[in-house]
Amino acid sequence: MFQSRLIAPLLIRAVAAALLALMGTALAADPEPLRLSHDLEVEGRTIRVPMELYLTPQSETDIAVKVAGNLRALQRQLPALLSDVVQDDCRMRVGLQIDETLAEGDHIRGRGRVQVQFFRCNAEEDKSSRRRLISHITAVDALMLGGIRDNCLDAELKDLTLDPSGLVGAALNITGLTRRIEATVRTELNEILNEDQNCLDLPEALQLLDTTITSGGFRDFGGGEMGFVVKGRVTVNAQNVTDLLTLIDRQGRLDGR
């Protein structure tokens, strides 16, 4: 969810900027990047994402588009977005807390802890009667992969490791509860990551110019700082440029407003 829900607007904004740049500037053989930013609304907060846009002519009609965006501000919010209570019933409560996220190549690593609390209840579904028996905190390490497949943004949990320690941890391992808790956390994280599959339904103006996103995903910008790189292609011909000018005229933008 976090990648698809948050990055898709950046892609659309960046490609839109590329197309506007095509109408006002000539493309150099070794172009300087165009610098722009986009504001994301995340959990009621506004996060600014700076981006660099590269346009490179490939032929008389094809233009390669590359967008590099810095997600450092978003990275600070990810732990809260990924943390959740993954199970809460009469006998057991499992809470996932992600403390930090780091970029590793085209992956994101989340580190944190899982708190497991065991209860005794008078009745199976009667939470009001439950009494805590024991609790345990174990380290968790999650490796997540995000990218673009079939023009849709998605993310998935690639690896998850729980590391229970001490006597309680040994008991969890022996009884098989560690595997059960790990499966519960894995299922919940995948649901969070894939809650909204967001395909790139580009605005009308971009569809007119035959814009295609070919690849993209998270990148490590150094020191674990998170960013993204997206590549695509714009195909321009006389018909779609004419259609675009007609659309812009209809929107009242040809007079410079």
Which residues, 6 or more positions from 167, have their beta carbon under 8 angstroms from its beta carbon?
A: none
Mean local confidence (pLDDT), 214-229: 85
Q: Which residues pair with 138 in a beta bridge?
A: 114
pLDDT band, very low/low/confident/very high, at 255 (cuts 50, 70, 90): low
- Which of 77, 67, 88, 54 lies closest to 188, judged by CA? 88
Confidence of residue 100 (pLDDT cuts 50, 70, 90): very high
Whole-angstrom distance, CA of residue 43 vs CA of residue 79: 12
Question: pLDDT tens digit string along 150-181?
Answer: 555 567 788 888 888 777 777 677 667 778 88
Tell me the C-alpha distance between 185 and 174, whole Å.
19
Residue 7: pLDDT band (50, 70, 90) is: very low
211 CB-contact burial (10 Å; exposed 0-12 / middle 13-18 / buried 19+): buried
DSSP 137-166: EEEEEEEEEEEEETTEEEEEEEEEEEE--H
pLDDT, residue 26, reads: 44
User: Band of the pLDDT at 111, cuts 50, 70, 90?
Assistant: very high
Q: How far apart are the first and last CA of the chain?
A: 36
